[in-house]
Amino acid sequence: MSAEILDLADHRPHLMVAASDGAHVIPHALVRSVIAGDKPSAILTEPVVRRIIEEWFQKVTA
């Protein structure tokens, strides 16, 4: 199995999500595409989605 290596500078701005399965760096554009329905939410792993929801929930309930 091999992974594609990308230069993060080409994908700014981006989010760093510390999920239970490790750290993930996700371009804002990708997250916006998922929110808009242009890309399926399945493109994000379950731990990443849970962490994003967790952080959002902390913000709205603080």
Model pTM score: 0.74
Q: How far apart are CA 62 and CA 57, in angstroms?
A: 8
The SS3 assignment for 19 reads strand
**Using one digit for the tens of pLDDT, what is the confidence trace for 3-55?**
777 776 776 788 899 999 999 889 999 999 999 999 999 999 999 999 999 99
Q: How far apart are CA 32 and CA 20, in angstroms?
A: 22
Model pLDDT, residue 42 = 94
Report in angstroms the alpha-carbon separations of 46 from 3, 12, 43.
Answer: 19, 23, 9
The DSSP letter of residue 27 is E
